[in-house]
Amino acid sequence: MFFYKLRNKVLISRYKFNEFEPISEEEAEKSKDIVYILTQIDPLKSRRSFCITDPSLMFLKEEGIRLVKKEKKNTSELPVWIKEKINEKKLSSINIEYPNWKDVLNLQSPSKWRVHIAGLGDVGGMLLTGLRLLGGEYIDSIGIFDKNIKVMKRWELEANQIFCPYVSQEFPEVYPVNEENIFDCDLFIFCATIGVPSLGREKNDVRMAQFEGNSKIISIYARKAREKLFKGIFAVISDPVDLLCKHTFLISNKNKNDRLDFTGLAPEQIRGYGLGVMNARAAYYAKKNKKTTAYVREGRVYGPHGEGLIIANNVRNYNETLSEQLTNQTLKANLDVRKTGFKPFVGPALSSGSYPIIATLCGKWHYSATFMGGVFMGAKNRLQKSGIEIERLNLSSVLMKKISNTYRKLSMLL
């Protein structure tokens, strides 16, 4: 391995670079900061940076769905200090095929986040309510934007009147922003949507029917994020989150000639929040059956927010029959609410939106879709100072096959 210093950060590579300042391993070992492993992978198939949580993730030649499966690697030749960096979550991988890869060296999460929300419909309004109620410890302020000025004014009034003088918690100030300043923030949340099927006209999976319309809207924001050199998180709430995330990544990285130059949003900046409510729905049904109650503690959910979803009843003791039962119940839950005469937006806004977004900001485990080898795939993850950490488990071959099939189908959609 070769050791270098750049911008007072330690870099490690398997290859020699004449343009970097070489240092000794002894000097590299003294670093108390994050250390960076350099890789070179096709940007269409790899994140710009991520947290290295075990040795098998060092010097990757490709990324993919196996990121969710724990792998063994002989670490006998690995220096002790690097093993310690891995345990401390202070080892990060950087793909230098991205033209702006050096930006990663200067990235820092804010102590309190400035959040902006675009789209104040049913989901956007409820999500705003959740963030106002629950996010005071981590959110500095919440800017809101909607094409309808009256809607924006309504939510400025309503949200700022959510207050209780008898509790010690903080309530983030809510204020309107104009579209030009929408990316003057640390976290942008896309909740705008068109084409939501009316009650009685929905298909089996209404989310896929929304892609055509919502992709046009999100393209505007993807280009604007590129123009503004946005460095924060671009969160997607609107359906279908997985495909809209990929669409955002591609659009933001195209120049005026419609060619990919990868100077827009890095894939790890984009997150899709749709899987949290599927986990919540699975837990709801799991508690109704004694055979599946372990799901709340040991279960997991993978994949998209809709068709292709995978519910695992228990990752320690996987049962395909029970898992299929929970998966079917979870997928139908959306339609069951609509049969009551109401659109299901409360659960999605809070369980997929407010709660996991706050968990993201404070570095806790949650469900969201992140980039895995060219596909935005939903799985449990958390945001470390050194990048995204995807939960890796000893998954059964049967479960892993199901997850791989969903991953393959998603990769074919966009």
What are the pLDDT digits (tens) for 64-79?
999 999 988 777 789 9
Same domain, 117 and 227: yes
Segment 132-158 mean pLDDT: 97
User: What pLDDT, on a 0 to 100 scale, did the predictor assign at position 141?
Assistant: 98
Terminal Cα-to-Cα distance of the chain (whole angstroms)? 37
> Is pLDDT above 90 for 199?
no
Same domain, 209 and 230: yes
Cα separation values, 346 from 97, 117, 125, Å: 41, 17, 10
Segment 198-207 mean pLDDT: 55
Same domain, 268 and 281: no
User: What pLDDT, on a 0 to 100 scale, did the predictor assign at position 371?
Assistant: 98
Dihedral sign from CA coordinates of 97, 99, 101, 102: positive
For residue 22, say if its preceding peptide bond is cis, omega within 30 degrees of 0.
no
CATH number at residue 217: 3.40.50.720
Cα–Cα distance, 206 to 306 (Å, whole number): 9
Segment 291-316 mean pLDDT: 96
Q: Which positions ≥6 away from 290 have C-beta within 8 Å?
A: none
Same domain, 85 and 122: no
Same domain, 282 and 261: no
Same domain, 142 and 214: yes
Same domain, 139 and 238: yes
Count of domains forming the chain:
3
Same domain, 51 and 130: no
Inter-residue contact 373 to 45 (CB < 8 Å) = yes
The residue out of 247, 272, 297 marking a domain boundary is 272
CATH number at residue 320: 3.90.110.10
Mean pLDDT, the chain, whole residue set? 95
The string of pLDDT tens digits covering residues 215-265 is: 999 999 999 999 999 999 999 999 999 999 999 999 999 999 999 999 999
Same domain, 118 and 265: yes
pLDDT-derived band at 382, boundaries 50, 70, 90: very high
- Distance from the Cα of residue 129 to its chain's centroid: 21
Cα–Cα distance, 311 to 323 (Å, whole number): 6
Same domain, 31 and 57: yes
Domain span including residue 16:
2-106
Same domain, 296 and 266: no
The string of pLDDT tens digits covering residues 313-369 is: 999 999 999 999 999 999 999 889 989 999 899 999 999 999 999 999 999 999 999
Cα–Cα distance, 137 to 300 (Å, whole number): 28
Same domain, 156 and 213: yes
Tokens, residue 150:
């009256």
The residue out of 106, 132, 155 marking a domain boundary is 106
In the 3-class helix/strand/coil scheme, how is 47-103 assigned residue by residue? CCEEECCCHHHCCCCCCCHHHHECCCCCCCCCCHHHHHHHHCCCEEEEECCCCCHHH
Give this prediction's pTM.
0.96
The residue out of 51, 74, 106 marking a domain boundary is 106
